[in-house]
Amino acid sequence: MVIKVFLPEFIFKILEDNPNLSISEIMKIANVAYSTAARYKKKYDWYKSNTEGCEIHHNVYLPAVENYRLYNKQQEYLNMIVFDLLNNGGFDSTQTLMRLFYKKYPKYKYQSKRNFNRYFKNTREFLIRENIQYPLRIQKSIQRIGFCTEENPVFNPTD
């Protein structure tokens, strides 16, 4: 098994030329912190002692994280369900809403309640911020902990 070790190319060349370089000298040459210089020195020494099981690479592996948010459409899906429920029927409690959401989108059912509540809070804040009116509105529940829907007295259909 070959283990890849990251070491900047110029540091590797300097250590190849002078393997007895001290950590403080590496700090000055590379303009890095003590811990980074010590890590470079340690990795180089380890590479020299295990040349067959080790491979030096000079490029940092950076995963493509710019598309990660595109895969999580939970906020969009929750908004669609809540807006649909505000138009027809509503929900009795946050727990009922959570069950409806997980029934329709089972891939999100293993998340925590805290995570669901964070997305639900974003939906409620979006409705308030954009001043969007539906026949029903989300109201803090009087009987239970959480939220429920009730008739919206401000709603005025424009049909």
pLDDT digits (tens, 9 = 90+) for 81-91: 999 999 988 89
* Residues 136-148, mean pLDDT to the nearest whole number: 86
pLDDT band (50, 70, 90) for residue 67: low
Q: Give residue 57's pLDDT.
A: 81
pLDDT band (50, 70, 90) for residue 68: low
Please give the residue that has the higher pLDDT: either 63 or 47.
47
Whether residue 159 is predicted with pLDDT greater than 60 in this model: the reply is no
Tell me the whole-structure pTM to 2 decimals. 0.55
Contacts of 27 (CB under 8 A, 6+ apart): 33, 34, 36, 37
Q: Give residue 64's pLDDT.
A: 67
Contacts of 15 (CB under 8 A, 6+ apart): 7, 21, 26, 40, 41, 44
* Residues 36-64, mean pLDDT to the nearest whole number: 83
Strands (E), 18-153: 54-57, 136-140, 147-151
User: Could you tell me the residue ranges of all domains in the chain?
Assistant: 3-57, 68-151
